[in-house]
Amino acid sequence: MSQDKLGPFLQKNWIGSTDSYKDAKIVMVGLPFDGTCSYRPGSRFAPERLRLASWGLEDYSPVYDRHLDDVRFYDAGELEFPLGNTQKTLDVIEKNAKVIFNDNKKFLGIGGEHLVTLPAVKAAAEKFENLAIIHFDAHTDLREDYLGEKLSHASVMRRIGEIVGFENIKQIGIRSGLKEEFELMKRYNTVANNLSDLDAIKNKKIFLTIDVDVLDPSVLPGTGTPEPDGLLYRELAQWIKSLKDFDIIGADIVELAPDYDKSEVSTATVSKIVRDVLMIL
Amino acid sequence: MSQDKLGPFLQKNWIGSTDSYKDAKIVMVGLPFDGTCSYRPGSRFAPERLRLASWGLEDYSPVYDRHLDDVRFYDAGELEFPLGNTQKTLDVIEKNAKVIFNDNKKFLGIGGEHLVTLPAVKAAAEKFENLAIIHFDAHTDLREDYLGEKLSHASVMRRIGEIVGFENIKQIGIRSGLKEEFELMKRYNTVANNLSDLDAIKNKKIFLTIDVDVLDPSVLPGTGTPEPDGLLYRELAQWIKSLKDFDIIGADIVELAPDYDKSEVSTATVSKIVRDVLMIL
Amino acid sequence: MSQDKLGPFLQKNWIGSTDSYKDAKIVMVGLPFDGTCSYRPGSRFAPERLRLASWGLEDYSPVYDRHLDDVRFYDAGELEFPLGNTQKTLDVIEKNAKVIFNDNKKFLGIGGEHLVTLPAVKAAAEKFENLAIIHFDAHTDLREDYLGEKLSHASVMRRIGEIVGFENIKQIGIRSGLKEEFELMKRYNTVANNLSDLDAIKNKKIFLTIDVDVLDPSVLPGTGTPEPDGLLYRELAQWIKSLKDFDIIGADIVELAPDYDKSEVSTATVSKIVRDVLMIL
Amino acid sequence: MSQDKLGPFLQKNWIGSTDSYKDAKIVMVGLPFDGTCSYRPGSRFAPERLRLASWGLEDYSPVYDRHLDDVRFYDAGELEFPLGNTQKTLDVIEKNAKVIFNDNKKFLGIGGEHLVTLPAVKAAAEKFENLAIIHFDAHTDLREDYLGEKLSHASVMRRIGEIVGFENIKQIGIRSGLKEEFELMKRYNTVANNLSDLDAIKNKKIFLTIDVDVLDPSVLPGTGTPEPDGLLYRELAQWIKSLKDFDIIGADIVELAPDYDKSEVSTATVSKIVRDVLMIL
Amino acid sequence: MSQDKLGPFLQKNWIGSTDSYKDAKIVMVGLPFDGTCSYRPGSRFAPERLRLASWGLEDYSPVYDRHLDDVRFYDAGELEFPLGNTQKTLDVIEKNAKVIFNDNKKFLGIGGEHLVTLPAVKAAAEKFENLAIIHFDAHTDLREDYLGEKLSHASVMRRIGEIVGFENIKQIGIRSGLKEEFELMKRYNTVANNLSDLDAIKNKKIFLTIDVDVLDPSVLPGTGTPEPDGLLYRELAQWIKSLKDFDIIGADIVELAPDYDKSEVSTATVSKIVRDVLMIL
Amino acid sequence: MSQDKLGPFLQKNWIGSTDSYKDAKIVMVGLPFDGTCSYRPGSRFAPERLRLASWGLEDYSPVYDRHLDDVRFYDAGELEFPLGNTQKTLDVIEKNAKVIFNDNKKFLGIGGEHLVTLPAVKAAAEKFENLAIIHFDAHTDLREDYLGEKLSHASVMRRIGEIVGFENIKQIGIRSGLKEEFELMKRYNTVANNLSDLDAIKNKKIFLTIDVDVLDPSVLPGTGTPEPDGLLYRELAQWIKSLKDFDIIGADIVELAPDYDKSEVSTATVSKIVRDVLMIL
């Protein structure tokens, strides 16, 4: 047998991924779930497309002057979910996040829709005291429920606030929601317009959650609920870079719906955001 | 006030729809649910797009030499569902179907994914003894469960068989499934290759369910799980016409995912199938 | 009969629309005409798509801290036009606009191409003295004619200037036209770069016309004649907000061609602009 | 100057086109008009796209065992039309067709929408007695008018019948229309199901008009009003080949709307139909 | 460390692929090269997209009553090529094919463009005497050269004929080429219209090469040079099934260009053809 | 013969192009090559699409207050290349560029991929001493080789630097590359952030090369390797205008891949950039 004479082959994992779970500092897990999406579904396809698109990136980031190879992350693949059963899906995520946190690694979720953040935060809250959330999004996601459903991507921050306390949530880029949601934001002072607005959580353990619709739809048409007047890529990248000194124990990037952008620029853009987040974890 | 001097306006209902629920013989209900879809979601958008596309149809069918105006159907609109909660969604459909059957009208569901057929059949089975199903589809939909979920579009005919008896299901166009599903089909002799294969259910009350992926993907690219080697439009249309003398008490047309066919030909084709079904109800 | 036991149904009108023409302050009329479009047609489909897309909006605007429900507008539907006959089409629009103005309501046209503004302005000029125009556009639209045709979307502001006087037109965002058009703009001082440039018409009755190609094509690819170097959504939104204290008696939003943006972001963006305009009417 | 040392260059004309109007037997004229289109416009872009796509064809047809080079046709380019003015547009076409017929050449129109056939037939009827029409289409196009307009692509065959006599029209592929249109077809026996149905016009001068929506939408999604249950390419090609011995004095191919088929297969298919028609002219 | 507690994960290989090169009977190699493509490039993306799409297939084929699991094939991944250097690319393929043949396994190439067949056939011809080719294609691919280039996807069968002898090539579905190519086909009697036309090569070792543009463009719009009048999926599938008793030592499936079919039906269709070929190897 | 009575016809050349090579100051040559493209091919289609799109431009630029008619450029058409043979393709370009430079005209290349710049610069370097390069791009293009290939679009600036000296290259908009490429840029001080950074080459002959992926992907999705964080159209346009007083002897605009932006906004945007460059040549 001469298998070793074959090749050279292109790789099937994320660019820069290490082959060893054991040696990895960060574990990337695909979360292909979009079951509570209120408008346009399709974020289930984001993790596999981002993997393909990652090979359009360079391994080297001039902004961080660093290679992905040096980051030591492990691409574990996509989880398999029981379609149509929201609760069981969340349970699978929570179980996996717990394993990763217990192995003293950082969790990096690749959504899927925003509800996938809930079980990851639950697992983090079990492991870490003093947990706070940095939340990029166009939408408040603070509804009590959506048509009676408490487990919805439109309610995910409400559920998370019930776990970590709303005063421990900082929100960036919000521009759509109900009147009562904006009032809740005001009450708990969740809005962060600049870095100093994050001072209150500076010394906490941070879970970073980026709903990519925080970006302007011109930059990211491929998402379920595009909302005009968003951040440019540059603005989001600068925010991410400024978080370098926070103690981020986990993160996720959610709500890319690749099929709604046939130019695939949305996927390329989010793959670069994933690279940026890897650089600061 | 001079509201009556405005216009002329285009209509917002399906072409040929009557304005009166009371006088209608058939009630068309949109079922925008795609929560258990195992591959590509998006059939939730089918009902609203079909309504727009219906205005590209003529009101007159030369095949039936008949006008839609003469059919007396009422376009009730789309039901509103609690996203992410499969059971509650099915309950809403069942409740509505019951009202319609109890008013001695025929139910015409516009999916949405195939699982929406289950509550409609449940409601029908409560009203009618001797119920049988005529099922057009590329897929058997006879799985015991899908990744543990019993309520799945891949299991809908299994659930329905448990209600009406598998011997009362006749299937046309099937070309994909598990080995055990094909064995179940053989055991109960569900396959119909021509009209005489339907003789066994000729005198029953019929619920007709058309998963539009029974059509060849060249004819209908806009569906969640396209499967080559399907029926041509003409073949399906002839099947439908041949059912004219069956006692059809309800029907649905499911699994159109309009956004996957940017030419909108899929939507135009299904709108014509809906017209054909209206002609025989 | 149990029609009232059906539902709950999604609505078929614009989000936030009232059901009563009589009580409405504003009447929204769809104007699906694109007959003189010089490059890419398709704006005829804008009104029906905007209605669907409006349900992706929240009813509440945090910028205005106000609900659409409080605006009291009535979605009258789309007018039906004799295709290929430009003059008759304009006559239908003019007749409808007159009815609305005579009922002391505000007219809100949803194009369609830009020529639909002409009959609305004609109707307004008959009702109101002291009429002035605020005009957002990438193109001057001031041609004497287009290949000999005086009724063209490229000549609409020329025709309107002949009615209201060119000194009563203020133009924002213009970046394409013939040399003689730019000279005419200079002669009549039509260009407005900031709010104070509108002082001359501050006390007039205003008809506001927004050709959405005033936006940058990155923000709005779905239009007939995309022209680089346009406004961002935020810039247009701020302009609109700043017009709150003007006495706007009518408005229209034109030239969205939804099929040229398969991501449907263009339609989502224009639906938000419509919401913004509703907030200031 | 060394211009002759430049190159080799790709050509800007239709593949196989001769450079000489004088020596040409056939003159191809682009007719980029879609002003009366009742559903989806865009056929105005067909002539320029077909020219580009023609270079994906071989110059040689194995079916006819003949090269395009031997056909002696001249690609004159696209006519420029006054947009929004239907009558003037038709006048320009008529004038050009007359010049071509008077030079004893054959006219080959490349639409554009179907109304462009009317002025070409008018010009032909002036030159030739005994004119008959062979008409491929999904739609009857026999309406008295469309929303009051007598000049509409939905009425073009009615207008043409008034010129040449309805008994001199033979129609192939029709599957949509009003009841009264189908009755008119029956009255004048216009339907041709096979070659012998054309016997009555065998010895006449023939104008051949092909509305490409006669093809099935699976074969040709890129058209304004796709209608299921159409001809396959092979069926249309065989029909065309069977007309080889008719005395065809002019022809047109209309209603391709290239932007509705992003795969550009529709354009490729119609370019091959144009090649087929060139082979029999 | 608890890596084994993670999951369940979706797989990153072709559905049904074995993990062991050693135990495999068939080795699948992705060949992402499209450098000599004469019209629309993009077949380089076919192998990675087919892998994703394979998970939309069932593992079970009712036509063959067999599971992919039983086929024992190994998905080796995509080869990495030096872009812009045609010769070196072919060398890499040849080297890999030799290794596989020398390990007494069957080679299954997933193109890429058709020129990738040449090095595989070279490697096969070195290993096997009595080699013959079964060739599905819309195009003859028998040009002496393409604009002077002898290594072109339009010349691949000419080069292959020089190796195996043109009398050992059998071609199915050809409908486009130069006059001299059709003459060469006639001289060597290469055309196969039915199974008995393959009798002359019945006892030879067979390399099977399928250019997917043999299919009709309605079935497969996603290819570089779509050519109307092709095979239906069913016809190709029946041809493949009829080859079950031939001694096929290698095969490839080439010329899928996935990005030209945004519905992804082309990719789904080719993934099913790959499954069919796996069933007969 | 009455050929002169035909028309009026639309033109087949670039808007504003003169018919006379002899009188032209600038010669525009289409370079439809994308053979070494490392990610998404398709820039071969840019020249023909830009010609069509140029007719969506006005002939008049308000920014330069000048008409294209006054520029005296000649649209020579697209060169025909031997596909798959990179070296021969470059030779054809070099030969043509030499002819143009020797006729004392300016060369304006319309790519195609970026490697087409190499032969044009070679030809320029033979004619002009003191040559310098102004280079707009997202990528450094300074690799020694790409997978062993020295002739690659990823190495084009490296090859050019070897001809003109790296100190004579000024780069604008670069944001992606290998670490060693960024080090080379630093060593030779190639980065230009503002106009004064170009002082060192102010008195040299300039070849201007614009890789359109220098623009942000929101502005230009239609390119092979989209890279977030790019220039806005306005920024690029201002850069171009600021080069008016440089002695530019040749230029090219490369890497538009039109099919990846189905809205065609990318093509429209690049056509305006071409107009801008024509204004300063």
How many Cα atoms are found within 13 Å in the side-chain-facing hemisphere of E57?
27
Q: Is B199 on the interface with A (CB under 8 A)?
A: no
B175: chain E residues, CB-CB within 8 Å: 62
Q: Do F178 and A60 touch (CB under 8 A)?
A: yes
C29 three-state secondary structure: strand
What is the identity of the amino acid at E193? N
Q: For F40, which DSSP code?
A: -
Residue D38: what pLDDT? 84
In chain A, at which residue ranges do the beta strands (DSSP E only) sit? 26-31, 60-61, 66-67, 73-78, 106-111, 131-136, 169-172, 205-211, 247-254
Enclosing H/E stretch for F241:
helix F233-242
Burial of A95 (C-beta count, 10 Å sphere; 0-12/13-18/19+):
middle
What are residue A169's phi and psi, to 5 degrees?
-110, 130
Q: Do F6 and D96 touch (CB under 8 A)?
A: yes
Residue E276: what pLDDT? 98
The C-alpha of C235 sits at a distance from chain A's nearest C-alpha, in angstroms, of 9
Q: For D194, which DSSP code?
A: S
Residue B39: what pLDDT? 87
Kindly report the average pLDDT of chain E as a whole number.
96
- The pLDDT of residue F257 is above 80: yes
How many Cα atoms are found within 13 Å in the side-chain-facing hemisphere of A192?
23
DSSP β-ladder status, C60-61 and C66-67: antiparallel
Angle (deg, nearest 10), helices A156-164 and A117-127:
10
E115: chain F residues, CB-CB within 8 Å: 84
Distance CA B162, CA B143 (A): 12
Angle (deg, nearest 10), helices B117-127 and B86-102:
40
Which of B140, B135, B213, B143 is closest to B174 using CA atoms?
B140
Residue A261: what pLDDT? 96
Q: Do D62 and E182 touch (CB under 8 A)?
A: yes
DSSP β-ladder status, C73-78 and C205-211: unpaired
- The pLDDT of residue A2 is above 90: no
* Cβ-nearest to F78 among D9, D76, D102: D9
Q: Is C268 on the interface with B (CB under 8 A)?
A: no
Q: How many residues does chain C have?
A: 281
Q: Is A41 on the interface with C (CB under 8 A)?
A: no
Q: Is A8 on the interface with B (CB under 8 A)?
A: no
How much of chain A exceeds pLDDT 70, in percent?
A: 100
- The pLDDT of residue C147 is above 90: no
Q: Is A151 on the interface with B (CB under 8 A)?
A: yes
Residues in chain E, pLDDT under 50: none
Burial of D24 (C-beta count, 10 Å sphere; 0-12/13-18/19+):
buried
- The pLDDT of residue C278 is above 80: yes
C233: chain A residues, CB-CB within 8 Å: 216, 228-229
Tokens of C69: 């429900």
Q: Do C177 and F263 touch (CB under 8 A)?
A: no
Average pLDDT for C87-103: 97
Q: Do A10 and E77 touch (CB under 8 A)?
A: yes
Q: Is E52 on the interface with B (CB under 8 A)?
A: no
Give residue-wise pLDDT tens across range C153-208.
999 999 999 999 999 999 999 999 999 999 999 999 999 999 999 999 999 999 99
Q: Do C62 and A221 touch (CB under 8 A)?
A: no
Contacts of range F161-166, beta carbons closer than 8 Å, 24 or more positions apart: F161/F188, F163/F121, F163/F122, F163/F125, F164/F121, F164/F125, F164/F131, F164/F132, F164/F133, F166/F190
Q: What's the first-to-final CA gap in chain A, in angstroms?
A: 42
The phi-psi region of residue E224 (left if phi > 0; otherwise alpha if psi is between -120 and 50; otherwise beta) is alpha
Residue A35: what pLDDT? 93
CB A62 within 8 A of CB F175: yes
Nearest CA in chain A to E12: A12
CB A124 within 8 A of CB A107: yes
Give residue-wise pLDDT tens across range E192-203.
999 999 999 999
Q: Do D226 and B60 touch (CB under 8 A)?
A: no
Tokens of D66: 């003949």
How many Cα atoms are found within 13 Å in the side-chain-facing hemisphere of D190?
32
Q: Do E84 and F44 touch (CB under 8 A)?
A: no
Upstream peptide bond of C8 is cis (omega within 30 degrees of 0) = yes
Distance CA D243, CA D277 (A): 9
Residue F99: what pLDDT? 97
Distance CA D272, CA E175 (A): 12
Distance CA F194, CA E78 (A): 43
Q: Is D147 on the interface with C (CB under 8 A)?
A: yes
CB C175 within 8 A of CB D108: no
Q: Quick one: three-class SS letters along E158-189?
A: HHHHHHHCHHHEEEECCCECCHHHHHHHHHHC
- The pLDDT of residue C1 is above 80: no
Q: Taking the model in full, what pTM does it have?
A: 0.97
Distance CA F59, CA B111 (A): 51
Distance CA A16, CA A6 (A): 22
Distance of CA A220 to the CA centre of its chain: 15
C176: which strand partners? C139
DSSP β-ladder status, F60-61 and F66-67: antiparallel
A203 three-state secondary structure: coil
Residue D165: what pLDDT? 98
Give residue-wise pLDDT tens across range D10-52.
999 999 999 999 999 999 999 999 999 888 999 999 999 999 9
Q: Do F222 and A60 touch (CB under 8 A)?
A: no
What is the identity of the amino acid at B128? F
Distance CA A273, CA A281 (A): 12
Angle (deg, nearest 10), helices B156-164 and B117-127:
10
Chains that touch F (3 or more CB pairs under 8 A): A, C, D, E
D70 pLDDT band (50/70/90 cuts)? Answer: very high
Residue B141: what pLDDT? 97
Burial of B160 (C-beta count, 10 Å sphere; 0-12/13-18/19+):
buried
D197 pLDDT band (50/70/90 cuts)? Answer: very high
Residue B116: what pLDDT? 98
C7: chain B residues, CB-CB within 8 Å: 79-80, 96
- The pLDDT of residue D206 is above 90: yes
- C-alpha to C-alpha distances, C3 to A9, B11, B100, C27, nearest whole angstrom: 64, 21, 8, 29
Distance CA B264, CA D221 (A): 8
Place of tokens 């099935």: D216
Distance CA E281, CA E279 (A): 6
Which of B246, E247, F228, D272 is closest to A234 using CA atoms?
F228
E79: which strand partners? A9
The C-alpha of F147 sits at a distance from chain D's nearest C-alpha, in angstroms, of 31
Residue C2: what pLDDT? 87
D213 three-state secondary structure: helix
Contact residues for E155 (Cβ-Cβ < 8 A; gap 6+): E141, E142, E143, E144, E145, E146, E149
CB E184 within 8 A of CB E227: no
CB C222 within 8 A of CB C273: no
Nearest CA in chain A to C64: A179
CB A267 within 8 A of CB A49: yes
E254: which strand partners? E211
Q: Is F179 on the interface with D (CB under 8 A)?
A: no
E37: chain F residues, CB-CB within 8 Å: 83
Distance CA C278, CA C26 (A): 8
Residue A183: what pLDDT? 98
Q: Do F86 and E84 touch (CB under 8 A)?
A: yes
Q: Is E259 on the interface with F (CB under 8 A)?
A: yes
* Cβ-nearest to F99 among D2, D103, D262: D2
Q: Is E36 on the interface with F (CB under 8 A)?
A: yes
Contact residues for F84 (Cβ-Cβ < 8 A; gap 6+): E35, E36, E86, E115, E149, E151, E152, F35
Nearest CA in chain C to F231: C229
Chosen for mutation from E2, E4, E10 (greatest number of chain A CBs closer than 10 Å) is E10
Chosen for mutation from B55, B265, B274, B275 (greatest number of chain D CBs closer than 10 Å) is B265
A78 three-state secondary structure: strand
Residue E39: what pLDDT? 87
- C-alpha to C-alpha distances, B100 to B117, B118, B252, B279, nearest whole angstrom: 15, 16, 14, 19
The C-alpha of B28 sits at a distance from chain C's nearest C-alpha, in angstroms, of 12
Distance CA F82, CA F69 (A): 34
Tokens of D25: 């037997």
Tokens of E12: 């990153």
Residue D187: what pLDDT? 98
Tokens of E229: 């009048």
C220 three-state secondary structure: coil
Could you say which residues from 102 to 141 on chain C have a Cβ atom under 8 Å away from some Cβ of chain D? 115
- The pLDDT of residue F83 is above 90: no
Give residue-wise pLDDT tens across range C35-78.
998 889 999 999 999 999 999 999 999 999 999 999 999 999 99
Which of A241, A88, A79 is closest to A151 using CA atoms?
A88
Tokens of F183: 């080090």
- C-alpha to C-alpha distances, F210 to B228, C57, C163, F117, F137, nearest whole angstrom: 45, 40, 46, 10, 6
- The pLDDT of residue D1 is above 80: no
Average pLDDT for C101-128: 98
Q: What is the ipTM of this complex?
A: 0.95
F36: chain E residues, CB-CB within 8 Å: 83-84
Average pLDDT for F51-58: 95
Give residue-wise pLDDT tens across range A207-229.
999 999 999 999 999 999 999 99
Contact residues for E250 (Cβ-Cβ < 8 A; gap 6+): E97, E101, E106, E107, E108, E109, E120, E124, E207, E208
Angle (deg, nearest 10), helices E86-102 and E117-127:
40
